[in-house]
Chains A and B, each alone.
Chain A
Amino acid sequence: MTTAVSIPRHGDTGGRTAVAARARQVVKAYGAGETRVVALDHVDVDIVRGQFTAIMGPSGSGKSTLMHCLAGLDTVTSGQIHLADTEITGLKDKKLTQLRRDRIGFIFQAFNLLPTLNAIENITLPMDIAGRKPDAGWLQQVVETVGLSDRLKHRPTQLSGGQQQRVAVARALAARPEIIFGDEPTGNLDSRAGAEVLSFLRRSVDELGQTIVMVTHDPVAASYADRVLYLADGSIVDEMKNPTAEQVLDRMKDFDARGRTS
């Protein structure tokens, strides 16, 4: 469906394929018979390495489901999903857990941090769980980039919402995952804090070569992405490259109008 290819900006990713994640004919259905609801209807999608991809769509369009499936959090009814060269559909829980731990980063809308751990402990948690030592230099760089150097010993309750999300972003980055998934990462933030987090995500793509997939319904948030995919009724209906907030909003209005007339 998409053929967009971007040149890897990091020397060390040169050996990998240009596609970080790939979905082929993915179907996700709930229930059976009369009550069967199809959340994803034969979706094909390629997530390009080193790009910031936004997934948009109205409520119930299946955007969150798509992200959950791509991230190995949810199982698919049929179809295949590859993370780089690894097919993740059909993997056992143990393998999936390992994969999430070692190769994927997450940023959720809320409740991203363990209240019992301080900021730096939260950031290094995935590596701790894996029993790996964090790369000190990289960690330093990440922490500085998110601007949290003086807040590392704070507990989540002592941080503002924006700071908490930045810690979450830092955690996602610190383990150097192949791909970061964000589920409305700015959904709970005011516009200023949201902009801070989004520009930080943008920078991590530009400067650190990170691959990011973000689900959002906010056109402004989507405008930070390199590419926007539009989902409606479980299918990808459109995409847009290098969008601006106005363009995204127009397109959304367009869908809304069509949705109402159809």
Chain B
Amino acid sequence: MTVWKTSMRNFLAHKGRMALSAVAVLLSVAFVCGTLVFTDTMNTTFDKLFAATSADVTVSPKTAETVDVPENGKPEALPASVVAEVGGVDGVKKAEGGVMSMAVTVVDADNKNLGSDTGAPTIAGNWTDNDLRSMEITSGHAPRGPTEVMIDADTAEKHHLRLGDEVRTIAVTGDIRAKITGIASFTVTNPGAAVVYLDTATAQEKLLGAPGVFTHISVSAEAGLTDAELKKKVAAALGDPGAYKLQTQEEAAAAGKDSMGSFLDVMKYAMLGFAGIAFLVGIFLIVNTFSMLVAQRTREIGLMRAIGSSRKQVNRSVLVEAVLLGIVGSVLGVAAGIGLAVGLMKLMGSIGMELSTKDLTVAWTTPVTGLALGIVVTVLAAYVPARRAGKVSPMAALRDAGTPADARSGWIRAGLGLALTGVGAAGLWATTQADEASEGSLYLGLGVVLTLIGFIVIGPLLAGVVVRVLGAVVLRLFGPVGRLAERNALRNPRRTGATGAALMIGLALVACLSVVGSSMVASATDELDKSVGTDFIVQSNTGQLIVPQAADAIEKVPGIEYVTNYKVLAAKLTNPDGSTADEHITAADPTYPRDLRRTTTAGDLSKAYGTDSMSVGSDYAALHKIEVGDEIAVAFKAGETAKLKVAAITSDDTTVDQGAMYVNITTAERHVAADRMPKNMIMFAAAEDGKEKEAYAALKSSLAAYPQYKVQNQADFKQDLKDQVGQLLNIVYGLLALAIIVAVLGVVNTLALSVVERTREIGLMRAIGLSRRQLRRMIRLESVVIALFGALLGLGLGMGWGTSAQKLLALEGLGVLEIPWPTIITVFVASAFVGLFAALVPAFRAGRMNVLNAIATDG
């Protein structure tokens, strides 16, 4: 009981000193809970959406793809007769034929794409009673003819569209120009899909390319019949189980969510990973706080021991304080996490992904997880300092308080740390030597973890060396104040080490990723320079195929020497050795080898473009022992089986089109019916000599009506690649910022507690003439040195990791190592400023300290 009471009192007495630790716990817990709430809410949203949009039973062709844009731009269809057939089944209340296609782009009168840019699809279809379950018409009416269209209210609002405005729906069969005659609102949350409704006949003709066909049948059950029972009845009536896919509402919703689910899971685990890093960093802060509290309380603890407290009681009293800290931090963290989730939803809303707070989902596991994590981590972090407190001898009560200066880090620590770092470094070295990706990544993982732990263990020793070096380089400029700062940073190497290590972790990841990222860009640029010969590349932003009307526009551009069409066909290959493989065949014009230069290990690539010839990649050839002249049976999914002769084997030592199998488009056309022939995925164009500029401009303007495609020349393409990598890195840096913020709090915490600890010393220095400004500068310099120490270690470690990773990825074509020095140097310099920033408050408080109180002898 007394243990509890003293802990409680100590906790309350030192709440100021605990504050930053609590904030660290709060931030980490908030991030975890925020992630959980956010992803749960997204799940709820999609659950509701898919449940609302799926009929009791949905019938669709067996071969229909779930989300992918179909190869030829036209979804698989079933005839109207099936609708009638299903309608006649006993127990069916209603069977409605529906048309739905995602192979569309909708633009407004200014050729602006109305679709979402967050990856949500644009959907075109016919308006059926089934849609009434998730939407209601809020103005106008459903389309009644080929010139009428209805759009969803969110899209209308986002693009300021009103009844009577014209929109153009771009489908593979042509453009559909129609006036908006109706606007329908979702009654559930629509996270961002743009939806347009056409009248049924137009939808069938334009989206599916044939009258009287549907993509699916929405079947509703008579009262009293479950979905599963209905499915059984309909299946029995339809007979042939191979022709149709039947899904109950539940199954359809699950299938819909599956396609989202992996994305949500990746996001969830990635964010939880970053929360984990923040926790790791927070541990250092908590360890430091408790170490300092225990050190400051040595006398008090000695007294407790002298009057009969057992070691265990003292130990426990510290742990109880940790539990209290954990509880306070976690409870606030859970609340902040929910706030964070709401904030994230708003943020997503601002970039076009609408989520409603009505769907906010806080599962009971979320606060439990948050609390458990926060408390367990805090107690674990406080365990070592608590043990140290238990070891305080009763004699400490009699000795002068004074903090033990020069806590020498032991030889064991040095040995252990060096051993870990050594083994880790060996792992990294082995990574660079590995010739198997799987083996190499094992070494890399091992190397990263061991060097990190190693650096953390020898951190205090490195602190001594690095701070001295930094002192010699930087602090000497500041004279005696600099020297005092250096000595202060050195006086407790364990503390400096732990504070720096916290910063090290975040910055190591930043450095590693920036090395990998810029190597990625450099390698790709290098590869592009070597292999890409085309002048212009045309492809979609959103994974849409190139519709024929756009392809025609490209063909007609003046100043273009030639255009290369590039299609991808799914096929099942039967190799000479009898093995089979599902592959994608690239069908291109024979000019393609000029657009993309490939090296061959055997044969002649131009021959592969001959009739019923093909090429394969070297890895595939080696795996299936294929040689030039062999015949492969290629069963095109969209057509018949063709026997193609291998005329060339391309080297797989590349990152562009690695493993691609080429055939001439004319060859593909011999075996695939025209209306089943895939549309172009990419198009390449070469300008006539000296007309590059004009051709580029003409090409761009020719595609003005088709905003879903981008035209790029080589420079644009490279820049785009760079931007994409840069964007990805920025997101990761943003998430790492959390860990870095916690680390900076750690620096603030260390300084603030040090200032308290050194009250008398500061008083003494002020008494013998240290000015306030000098005092503040001293604390700022100490902070800068700690920050630079962390930065140096982190950047060094991170560059090591990044370099090893690049050497490993070289196996996958990431051949060029580029260390982004500007980024590295910026981060290093920024760390110094972070140090200055962290010292602001502690320095201010030290400056305000009353000299007399600080040196008062009695009391």
Are A125 and B857 in contact, CB atoms less than 8 angstroms apart? no
Known: A68-B852, A131-B479, A184-B857. A114 touches B767 (CB 8 A): no
- In the assembled complex, which residues on chain A have CB atoms less than 8 Å from the CB atom of B479? 128, 131
A111 to B760 CA separation, bound complex (whole angstroms): 7
Known: A114-B761, A116-B490. A106 touches B768 (CB 8 A): yes
Are A108 and B774 in contact, CB atoms less than 8 angstroms apart? no
- In the assembled complex, which residues on chain B have CB atoms less than 8 Å from the CB atom of A114? 484, 487, 761, 764-765
Are B491 and A73 in contact, CB atoms less than 8 angstroms apart? no
Q: Which of A67-121 contact B (CB under 8 A)?
A: 68, 73-74, 93-94, 97-98, 100-102, 105-106, 108-117, 121
Question: A231 to nearest B CB, angstroms?
Answer: 16
Known: A73-B851, A129-B480, A187-B857. A93 touches B772 (CB 8 A): yes
Are B484 and A116 in contact, CB atoms less than 8 angstroms apart? yes
Known: A73-B851, A111-B760. A97 touches B765 (CB 8 A): no
| Cβ 8 A contact of B491, one of A113, A116, A128, A171 | A116
Are A183 and B768 in contact, CB atoms less than 8 angstroms apart? no
A128 to B771 CA separation, bound complex (whole angstroms): 12
Q: Which of B765-797 contact A (CB under 8 A)?
A: 765-772, 774
- In the assembled complex, which residues on chain B have CB atoms less than 8 Å from the CB atom of A130? 769
In the complex, B552 has a CB within 8 A of chain A: no
Q: Which of B420-461 contact A (CB under 8 A)?
A: none
Are B769 and A157 in contact, CB atoms less than 8 angstroms apart? no
A97 to B772 CA separation, bound complex (whole angstroms): 8
Are A106 and B767 in contact, CB atoms less than 8 angstroms apart? yes
Are B405 and A125 in contact, CB atoms less than 8 angstroms apart? no
Are B769 and A126 in contact, CB atoms less than 8 angstroms apart? yes
- In the assembled complex, which residues on chain A have CB atoms less than 8 Å from the CB atom of B488? 116
- In the assembled complex, which residues on chain A have CB atoms less than 8 Å from the CB atom of B402? 111, 115
Are B857 and A101 in contact, CB atoms less than 8 angstroms apart? no
Question: A91 to nearest B CB, angstroms?
Answer: 13
- In the assembled complex, which residues on chain B have CB atoms less than 8 Å from the CB atom of A94? 771-772
* B-contact 0/1 string along A181-213, CB 8 Å cutoff: 001100100000000000000000000000000
A110 to B400 CA separation, bound complex (whole angstroms): 10
- In the assembled complex, which residues on chain A have CB atoms less than 8 Å from the CB atom of B405? 115-116, 155, 157
Known: A73-B852, A111-B761, A116-B490. A126 touches B768 (CB 8 A): yes
A81 to B302 CA separation, bound complex (whole angstroms): 45
A121 to B484 CA separation, bound complex (whole angstroms): 10
Are A183 and B857 in contact, CB atoms less than 8 angstroms apart? yes
* B-contact 0/1 string along A27-50, CB 8 Å cutoff: 000000000000000000000000
Known: A98-B771, A116-B405. A108 touches B855 (CB 8 A): yes
In the complex, B406 has a CB within 8 A of chain A: yes
- In the assembled complex, which residues on chain A have CB atoms less than 8 Å from the CB atom of B852? 68, 73-74
Question: A12 to nearest B CB, angstroms?
Answer: 22
A130 to B705 CA separation, bound complex (whole angstroms): 75
A102 to B543 CA separation, bound complex (whole angstroms): 77
- In the assembled complex, which residues on chain B have CB atoms less than 8 Å from the CB atom of A121? 483
A129 to B479 CA separation, bound complex (whole angstroms): 8
| Cβ 8 A contact of A102, one of B480, B769, B774 | B769
A131 to B768 CA separation, bound complex (whole angstroms): 14
Chain A contact patch, size range: 35 or more
Question: B529 to nearest A CB, angstroms?
Answer: 57
- In the assembled complex, which residues on chain B have CB atoms less than 8 Å from the CB atom of A131? 479-480
| Cβ 8 A contact of A157, one of B406, B490, B760, B766 | B406
A112 to B768 CA separation, bound complex (whole angstroms): 10
A90 to B483 CA separation, bound complex (whole angstroms): 33
Question: A156 to nearest B CB, angstroms?
Answer: 9
Are A108 and B764 in contact, CB atoms less than 8 angstroms apart? yes
A97 to B491 CA separation, bound complex (whole angstroms): 26
Are B857 and A110 in contact, CB atoms less than 8 angstroms apart? yes
A73 to B855 CA separation, bound complex (whole angstroms): 10
Question: B856 to nearest A CB, angstroms?
Answer: 9
- In the assembled complex, which residues on chain B have CB atoms less than 8 Å from the CB atom of A73? 767, 851-852, 855
A126 to B764 CA separation, bound complex (whole angstroms): 11
- In the assembled complex, which residues on chain B have CB atoms less than 8 Å from the CB atom of A155? 405-406
A111 to B769 CA separation, bound complex (whole angstroms): 16
Are B490 and A111 in contact, CB atoms less than 8 angstroms apart? no
Known: A74-B852, A116-B491, A187-B857. A97 touches B766 (CB 8 A): yes
A170 to B512 CA separation, bound complex (whole angstroms): 53
Q: Looking at B400, B765, B767, B770, which has the most chain A CB atoms within 10 Å of its CB? A: B767
Which chain B residue lies CB-closest to A94? Answer: B771
A74 to B852 CA separation, bound complex (whole angstroms): 7
Q: Which of B347-377 contact A (CB under 8 A)?
A: none
A187 to B774 CA separation, bound complex (whole angstroms): 31
Are B771 and A111 in contact, CB atoms less than 8 angstroms apart? no
- In the assembled complex, which residues on chain A have CB atoms less than 8 Å from the CB atom of B491? 115-116
A253 to B85 CA separation, bound complex (whole angstroms): 122
* A-contact 0/1 string along B70-94, CB 8 Å cutoff: 0000000000000000000000000
- In the assembled complex, which residues on chain B have CB atoms less than 8 Å from the CB atom of A117? 484, 487
Are B857 and A108 in contact, CB atoms less than 8 angstroms apart? yes
Are A116 and B487 in contact, CB atoms less than 8 angstroms apart? yes
A195 to B764 CA separation, bound complex (whole angstroms): 24
- In the assembled complex, which residues on chain B have CB atoms less than 8 Å from the CB atom of A105? 768
A94 to B773 CA separation, bound complex (whole angstroms): 9
- In the assembled complex, which residues on chain B have CB atoms less than 8 Å from the CB atom of A184? 857
| Cβ 8 A contact of A129, one of B769, B851, B855 | B769
- In the assembled complex, which residues on chain A have CB atoms less than 8 Å from the CB atom of B481? 129
Are B768 and A129 in contact, CB atoms less than 8 angstroms apart? yes
Question: A61 to nearest B CB, angstroms?
Answer: 13
Which chain A residue lies CB-closest to B855? Answer: A108
Which chain B residue lies CB-closest to A171? Answer: B768
Q: Which of B464-490 contact A (CB under 8 A)?
A: 479-481, 483-484, 487-488, 490
Q: Which of B223-248 contact A (CB under 8 A)?
A: none
- In the assembled complex, which residues on chain A have CB atoms less than 8 Å from the CB atom of B490? 116
A126 to B765 CA separation, bound complex (whole angstroms): 8
A114 to B406 CA separation, bound complex (whole angstroms): 13
A98 to B771 CA separation, bound complex (whole angstroms): 7
Question: A59 to nearest B CB, angstroms?
Answer: 8
Known: A74-B852, A111-B761, A129-B480. A101 touches B768 (CB 8 A): yes
Q: Which of B811-858 contact A (CB under 8 A)?
A: 851-852, 855, 857
Question: A237 to nearest B CB, angstroms?
Answer: 22
Are A109 and B857 in contact, CB atoms less than 8 angstroms apart? yes
Q: Which of B564-591 contact A (CB under 8 A)?
A: none
Are A100 and B767 in contact, CB atoms less than 8 angstroms apart? yes
Question: A221 to nearest B CB, angstroms?
Answer: 15
A241 to B716 CA separation, bound complex (whole angstroms): 95
- In the assembled complex, which residues on chain A have CB atoms less than 8 Å from the CB atom of B400? 110
A98 to B769 CA separation, bound complex (whole angstroms): 6
Q: Looking at A102, A116, A131, which has the most chain B CB atoms within 10 Å of its CB? A: A116
Which chain A residue lies CB-closest to B770? Answer: A129
Question: A196 to nearest B CB, angstroms?
Answer: 20
A156 to B772 CA separation, bound complex (whole angstroms): 25
A97 to B488 CA separation, bound complex (whole angstroms): 22
A106 to B767 CA separation, bound complex (whole angstroms): 8
Question: A28 to nearest B CB, angstroms?
Answer: 12
Are B760 and A100 in contact, CB atoms less than 8 angstroms apart? no
29 contacts between A and B (CB under 8 A): A68-B852, A73-B767, A74-B852, A93-B772, A98-B769, A100-B767, A101-B768, A102-B769, A108-B764, A108-B857, A109-B857, A110-B857, A111-B764, A114-B761, A114-B764, A115-B402, A115-B405, A115-B491, A115-B761, A125-B480, A125-B765, A126-B768, A128-B483, A129-B765, A129-B768, A131-B479, A155-B406, A184-B857, A187-B857
Q: A101-B768, A108-B767, A109-B857 are in contact. List 12 more A-B contacts (CB 8 A).
A: A64-B857, A73-B852, A102-B769, A108-B764, A108-B857, A111-B402, A111-B855, A112-B764, A114-B484, A117-B484, A129-B765, A129-B774
Identify the 6 closest CB pairs spanning chains A and B, nearest first.
A101-B769, A116-B487, A128-B480, A109-B857, A115-B405, A97-B771
Interfacial residues, chain B to chain A (CB-CB below 8 A): 400, 402, 405-406, 479-481, 483-484, 487-488, 490-491, 760-761, 764-772, 774, 851-852, 855, 857
